[in-house]
Structure 1
Amino acid sequence: MAKVRTDLVVMGGGAAGVAAAVRARQLGARVTLIEAEKLGGVCMNKGCIPTKCLMETARLYWRIKRAGQLGLLIPNVELDWNQIMARKEDLVGYLRMGTEGVLKSNGVEILKGPARFETPHKIKVGNELLEGDRFLLATGSTWAGLGISGDTSPGVVTTDWLLDMRVVPQEVLVLGGGPVELEAAQYLSFLGAKVTMLEPQARLLPGEDREMSRRLSAVLKEQGLTLLTRVKPLEIRETERGVGLLVQTPDGEKNLEASLILHAARVPALAELHLERAGVNLVEGLLQMDAYLRTNQSHILAAGDVTGPPFYSHRASAMAILAAENALGSQQVFEQARVPRAFFTYPEMACVGLTEAQAKERGHKVRSATIPYSVNARAMMALETDGAVKIISEETYGEILGVHIVGPHATELISEAALAMELEATVEELARGMRLHPSISESQVEAARECLGRGIYVLR
């Protein structure tokens, strides 16, 4: 027997599901949220939060060993794995508890268990039927196989493995050169592993600005990472050393060996939802959606990782808030182009908008400027001069088309650029901004000035 009909059923309790549920309650809707595992989703339990927590330890460990440049002599730095893991678990548990408190205090009904459609307006949670006027799919993403022979070998792991790692492997092959792979590779390298990254494209972060991805790649190489590009994995096998990987390179096939192979391949978590019973269409494995985040069934919307890449928690939350509003009568378009992109490496990298190549391909008359951190006093003080700010603007009207940052605090500084683009500020307006001195943020204003040909601290 079905329960009393609810206004909005949110399927998934991660970043997207929580944001949508709370926003819908703010708008007066009756909301039921369903989570099969732990509240908080991948980001809170296995992704953003625990991995960044561990990375903070690794980054500081790596910097302390090089603190002599700052006049600090700190001998015998050791890792206390019990404390490292306890801190990570405490943080995740605290945030998860807070999430549950937020949902309950806002009057969101929470059901635990896997959810699947029975009809377009009914779902089953365990043995219980639930009816809804509208549904939001927010089930996130799940691990994908590599699609090659041997990919289920014990020596092939995902980034989940890092969350319980207490012994650093000697050698690791990391498949892919995206943000998650980069962060995992650097984490292992900082802790002492010999890490080789394998990227099938011509460079790391092939979707990002060429100049900036090259800057980051150069720093990673200086730190000890080995980067191999134009490499395609073909086959995995177990060896005495651990695992072997047959790869295709521009020079032919080669065999590589390591203690472990690590990957971060993910796909939207759709398989268990029985979408066919709801009449929801998929196109090449992805939800068929319009600009308002509705599927082909207009009462069923989706937000977050379940809609496909890029897999960012901040994107998921923003999509979910808009989707909740649209489900309850609004008509807002989600602006995918305005999503900031973050890479929590050291140095960090963050971007928003178009790359220079993309801007030119779209017919824009482009003006761009890059200001290196090597001329920023605050970066010099911290010995963090590996990086730069690049701004891409449209020459005629001064529209800011893209901003790309490599360097300290890039993931914080990009928010200013994202806001400027959201408010349709021009590069002239950004150039006239006043920033504290000494600060890293000064470089963003200087880059805007130089876009206009009037940078102050540029040698002519």
Structure 2
Amino acid sequence: MEEFDLGIVGAGPAGYTAALHGASLGQKVVLFEKENIGGVCLNKGCIPTKSILHSSTLYKSIKNSEDFGITVDGAKLDYAKVVEHKNKTIEKLRKGIELALKNSKVTVIREEAKILSKNEISAGDEKFKCKKIICATGSSPKLIKGLEFDHKFFLSSDDILSLVNLPKSILIVGSGAIGIEWARIFSNFGVETTVVELASHLLPLADIEVSKRVERIFKANKIKFYTQTSVKEIADKTVILSNDEILNPEIVLVAVGRTPNECEKVDGVIYIGDVTGEIQLAHFAIKQAIQEIEHVEFRKDLVPAVVYGTPEIAWVGKREQDLEDTEYKKSNVLISSLGKAQCDGETDGFIKLLSQNGKLVGAHIVSVEASALIQQLTIAIQNEISIDKLKEVCFAHPTYSEGIFDALFK
């Protein structure tokens, strides 16, 4: 039986990060993966979705390019090539991770693995002894009774990536990050798009003002949505909602989140990533892995969230509804007030800062580049930099970042 310092089951962001960091510290590492290296994020989630989303945004921009003095005649959508570009992107990034693992001398076993004890893993006909074992087996699309995936009419977020042709219409059940991003994708491509959300607002985990702005953006883009609504009945592909609205979508995307993959708990084994049922974000899983291997701590209450598309949506820290019973200050800057936004024609959105006792405690952004802007604010909040000290920083002009600077003085 071959012996290792570290055995890891699952080669998603949590697993391959733990493997690479363990190897960098001189540990002998074995990594098990029954499917593709990269896990859900690379193969079925973050990366393929962003690739298709970029294509859809580009397509929409080309259609509206006359506003900027550019006329494009005969622009056509070839969705098969959109998918081809997505697949090439995944393959390129996957090869990069595989090469990094190889160069780090991580042993990769392409078999389904079973954790037998806190020091033993079996895969195929072999057993592996490990001083330490990490389980990072990820998650799968969540099922809802009555909307079980048939992979034809009821699709999961995995299934939707396998579409060869675009539908004429789609119903999306759920308006978390997955639902919002796919609604934007299909709408950009000209698909009749409807979203159903059980909560009182779209993107219910966000700050209330962010949710309201998303609803406004959806209305402007003619994306239909129903809040405080569920699917009541389905008969022969006719969908009846709880508000008695009748829909006849070509397909239904069930996007109500993900559920941890089944993994028998073994005492002494470390569990990280989506399988823990905590925050199901790749960057959270990566930080868990680094914390476990390198002992670099991080704050779980300051994990930034990003929803992609135009404009991007990002937040970190406290929401305004979290502070309702406390004393706090709020500042808000409209993106339309920024010179760069006017030049780009991307004026929708705002930067909202929440503070207590002269320090930021929450930040919420709806804007182009929100995914980058939120990191500046995450650093400020985590390091408890006072608003007065942040005012001393020189922000470049014209940028979207100077919206943060403006908000500090509100």
Q: Quick one: which amino acid aligns to residue 182 of structure 1?
A: I
Q: Quick one: which amino acid aligns to residue 445 of structure 1?
A: F
Q: Quick one: which amino acid aligns to residue 246 of structure 1?
A: I
Q: Quick one: which amino acid aligns to residue 64 of structure 2?
A: R
Q: 2:206 aligns with which of 205, 208, 231?
A: 208
1:393 aligns with 2:387: no
Report the equivalent of 2:333: 371
1:52-451 matches, within 5 Å, as 52-148=50-146, 151-152=149-150, 154-238=152-236, 243-249=237-243, 253-271=244-262, 273-275=263-265, 278=266, 297=267, 299-325=268-294, 330=295, 334-361=298-325, 363=326, 365-394=327-356, 396=357, 398-450=358-410
TM-aligned CA deviation for residue 269 of structure 1: 4.0
Higher alpha-carbon deviation: 441-450 or 110-119:
110-119
Residues 216 and 347, structure 1, Cα contact 8 Å, conserved in 2 = no
1:10-89 matches, within 5 Å, as 10-89=8-87
TM-aligned CA deviation for residue 333 of structure 1: 5.0
SS across alignment from 1:83? helix
Change in CA separation of 1:449 and 1:157 when aligned onto 2, cut-off 3 Å: same
TM-aligned CA deviation for residue 101 of structure 1: 0.7
**Separation in 2, partners of 1:47, 1:30:** 30
Higher alpha-carbon deviation: 315-324 or 122-131:
122-131
**Separation in 2, partners of 1:317, 1:75:** 45
SS across alignment from 1:258? coil
Report the equivalent of 1:458: none
**Separation in 1, partners of 2:89, 2:148:** 36
Report the equivalent of 1:287: none
SS across alignment from 1:384? coil
Moved over 4 A (4+): none
Q: RMSD of the TM alignment (CA)? A: 1.8
**Separation in 1, partners of 2:169, 2:59:** 19
- Of all paired residues, the percent bearing the same amino acid is 29
Residues 348 and 406, structure 1, Cα contact 8 Å, conserved in 2 = yes
TM-aligned CA deviation for residue 133 of structure 1: 2.0
Q: Quick one: which amino acid aligns to residue 355 of structure 1?
A: R
TM-aligned CA deviation for residue 426 of structure 1: 1.6
Residues 359 and 386, structure 2, Cα contact 8 Å, conserved in 1 = yes
TM-aligned CA deviation for residue 268 of structure 1: 4.1
Unaligned runs of 5+ in 1: 279-296, 451-460
TM-aligned CA deviation for residue 120 of structure 1: 3.3
**Separation in 2, partners of 1:432, 1:356:** 26
Higher alpha-carbon deviation: 86-95 or 369-378:
86-95
Aligned residues between the structures: 410
* TM-score after normalising by structure 2: 0.95
SS across alignment from 1:311? coil
* TM-score after normalising by structure 1: 0.85
**Separation in 1, partners of 2:399, 2:261:** 45
SS across alignment from 1:76? coil
